[in-house]
Amino acid sequence: MLDSPDAVRFIVVAVSIFGPRRIAQELMSIDSGTEQFLQSFNEIMIPWCLKEFRPSTAARLDLLLALLDDECSEEQWNTIISYLVNGEKVGVFSGTMDRDHMPVLAILMEKVRERTRKSVHQPDSSENNFQHELLDLAALSVVRAFPPLGDSDARFLCAVLGGGSGDDKISFISRKTMILIFEEVLRRLMTFIMDSTFAWVQDVCSLLFSGGSYSDWKLDSCDNVLERAYFALDILNGSFFCLNTIDAESDLVQGMFAAIFIIDWEFSWANSEDKLEEEQIEKIEARLPFCEAVHCFHLKISDQFSKGFGVNSRKRLGITLVQSIKCIMFMDNRFESDDFISSCCQWALDIFEFSCRDQVEEQLLLEQFLSKNDSFPLWVMPDRKGARLKTENVSHHAPKNTKFIALVDKLISTIGFDRVVAGVISEASSASIKDPLTDLAINQSDYARPWLAAEILCTWKWFNGNVLHFFLPSFLGYVKKGDYGFADSILNILLDGALVHGAGSGLNLLWQASLNELEAVEEPFLRALLSLLYAFFQDSVWGTEKAISLFKLLLDKLYIADAANLNCLRILPSIMNALVEPLSTEFEDSTDDQSAPYSQSELHTVTVDWLKRAVSFPPLSSWQTGEDMEEWLQLVISCFPVKVKGRMQGIKPERRVSPMERAVLYELFQKQRQSASAVVNKLPLVQKLLSELMVISVA
């Protein structure tokens, strides 16, 4: 009769009413003394309740727990655990836990947990301490056991760990054992990752754990990687909030979350990649169900993570994950498809959403994402003042950072130039921060990244993208909203860089160059500077006032004492090619008088001075390579752009030319033409300069 679950449940109700000893007296015909009660409990009730798994097992375990008496519950619990866990075997070798007892032990610990959760909210309850050394040994034995693994194994571990919900904070094992269990979980997840078909998955795992506490782990591949991985996920799924308890073990907690993200990334990439070999497809199909299970787990924990874990945990995890994305970008060229870079962009956005509460935290995480390494940035370094030029020699043709720049460009196109480059924090996001110290930090901090804009402009081209068609439109669109100071910061960086390198452009200075012609400029800073000038002046973002201020700045830099600054002299002709048109507007609209405008224009005054300097040089026919006469003549030519109609018919100047300019230009032309007739210098550059001088003189 007592084998019936209903009969056992009836006795449980009776125990709750009359107490353990009274019912034990009636059932087993014993006295009320403690010694006889314990003897009958140990010799009769424990074997009967804990025998092999049966339909009535759950009810019997309820009865066993109901018979725990406040005066001797510790001794009773010790006997129960000692009956189920053989202490002489379980602590010697891994996996020596008696498998027959595992289903019963798992259900028992689940019932203990439920009993504990109910009583913990009752202030008058004196709940028993269910921790036991043998439970620790049993848990370690189970988690280290070799497959096959049963459902009861994971259920037991989750029951002793706790953490199945945010309010389930009681664990029946020590913190040390808990850490060892989760280390084994991490080991199994890492083993699964390192067994991936995709080399980038293996690489990012190696990089992620290379500098941590677990870098010396040996991950041996085996035939049951999948079964072990499922077991690890079952434990995480059932005890997620335990990670809060061991939050101080930052490497361990971050490692497990990072492993979840990497497996989820593999899942999304495996579903999108269609260029796979037959062997890869077979292995991926075997791994995909587990990857999908991890993906579902990832979705489930996203909200729970932000609510249940502290700010520091989220920040550390975010940094770990964005650095792993960055590592992928700087690996070898095996992963250079546009689809892969797009996937990395989406993964980065997922990280921002997962670990950032607001835009302030997003900006701090972006700072980590854009932090320097050996390959990035190549041209401009961020510093406290905004930017600092890099002095190392860098190849102009094959920079290593183009794949990462492609990723940054995709982020810009997805979430906006304002957030990624300008570092803008919306007022709504700022208002959501209640901490006055945080408010102060927001007001005093500037997340603007003019150095990043300069770096992208200098990079010029990247995988499936370039400055002209991708970055500049976003940049222009942002500045048009009113942040002209940000554009000025970038202009100053690029001008400083161009002055440091002091290289010519190679552009045809006879007419105003177009943006598409800038491809011919090899020096990155000058090319970037010219792209900025042409785009901003042609799109009327900047006008005459800006052109005048930049012109005056360049005049100040043209001379060092009485000597010409050769670096400035070399870049000035191509810059003037961009500035002449907006500078000419100054006097063309001012008056209809034929003499007054020229006297008011600094462009005309300075151009006359440059012409007189060119006239003072010896004839080109006697010029030798190495003299600065070339730069001065190019500067003069750049000040007189022409426009041509038809086949060299109707050559006209692009701007008004003052009488004084005409006179000195004619004098220069006459001098060079007469000398060229007398002696022919066969240097190609000389012939080119003479031809260009003739064209502007005729115009």
Residues 6+ apart with CB under 8 A from 274: none
CA torsion through residues 185, 186, 190, 193, sign: positive
The whole-number average pLDDT for the span 495-516 is 88
Answer whether 37's CB lies under 8 Å from 30's CB.
Answer: yes
Residues 6+ apart with CB under 8 A from 470: 409, 413
In 3-state terms, what secondary structure has residue 560?
strand
pLDDT digits (tens, 9 = 90+) for 355-380: 888 899 999 999 999 998 888 899 99
Q: Express as a percent the part of the chain with pLDDT over 90.
A: 40
**Residue spans of beta strands (DSSP E) within 328-487:** 380-381, 388-389, 461-462, 465-466
| Six-digit token string for 432 | 């959501």
Nearest to 231 by CA among 277, 293, 171: 293
The whole-number average pLDDT for the span 429-450 is 54
pLDDT digits (tens, 9 = 90+) for 158-194: 999 998 887 888 899 999 999 999 999 999 999 999 9
**Mean pLDDT in the chain?**
83
pLDDT digits (tens, 9 = 90+) for 297-351: 999 888 777 666 677 778 888 888 998 898 888 876 666 688 889 999 999 999 9
Q: What is the DSSP string of 639-677?
A: TS-EEEETTTEEEEESS---HHHHHHHHHHHHHHHHHHH
Answer whether 408's CB lies under 8 Å from 326's CB.
Answer: no
pLDDT digits (tens, 9 = 90+) for 274-296: 777 777 788 889 999 999 999 99
Residue 268 pLDDT exceeds 80:
yes
**H or E element in which residue 73 lies:** helix 73-84
In 3-state terms, what secondary structure has residue 380?
strand
The whole-number average pLDDT for the span 500-517 is 86
Residues 6+ apart with CB under 8 A from 317: 253, 254, 257, 258, 354, 355
In 3-state terms, what secondary structure has residue 563?
strand
Range with lowest mean pLDDT among 412-416, 464-468, 504-508, 625-629? 625-629
- CA distances 266 to 260, 269, 416, Å, are 10, 5, 27
| Six-digit token string for 534 | 């042409």
For 91, other C-beta atoms within 10 Å of its C-beta total 16
- The dihedral formed by the CA atoms of 391, 392, 394 and 400, expressed in degrees to the nearest 10: -110
Q: How far apart, in whole angstroms, are the C-alpha atoms of residue 692 and residue 634?
A: 9
| Six-digit token string for 549 | 């201020």
Find tokens 């090319």 and name the residue: 527
The whole-number average pLDDT for the span 588-598 is 49
| Amino acid letter, 450 | P
pLDDT digits (tens, 9 = 90+) for 203-221: 888 877 776 676 677 776 6
**Residue spans of beta strands (DSSP E) within 457-568:** 461-462, 465-466, 559-560, 563-564
Q: How far apart, in whole angstroms, are the C-alpha atoms of residue 225 and residue 129?
A: 37
The whole-number average pLDDT for the span 224-248 is 89
Q: Express as a percent the part of the chain with pLDDT over 70.
A: 84
Nearest to 191 by CA among 163, 217, 155: 217
Nearest to 408 by CA among 363, 351, 364, 342: 342
Q: Alpha carbon 480 to chain centroid distance?
A: 28
Residue 246 pLDDT exceeds 60:
yes
Nearest to 672 by CA among 640, 636, 625: 636
pLDDT digits (tens, 9 = 90+) for 27-74: 787 777 888 889 989 998 999 888 877 788 899 999 999 999 888 989
Q: How far apart, in whole angstroms, are the C-alpha atoms of residue 313 and residue 336?
A: 32
The pLDDT value given to residue 562: 81
DSSP state of 214: T
The pLDDT value given to residue 550: 96
Residue 390 pLDDT exceeds 90:
no
The pLDDT value given to residue 591: 44
Residue 600 pLDDT exceeds 70:
no
The pLDDT value given to residue 524: 94
Answer whether 317's CB lies under 8 Å from 350's CB.
Answer: no
| Six-digit token string for 218 | 């040996």
For 416-523, where are the alpha helices, taking DSSP H only? 417-420, 427-431, 436-444, 450-459, 472-479, 484-501
The pLDDT value given to residue 221: 65
In 3-state terms, what secondary structure has residue 474?
helix
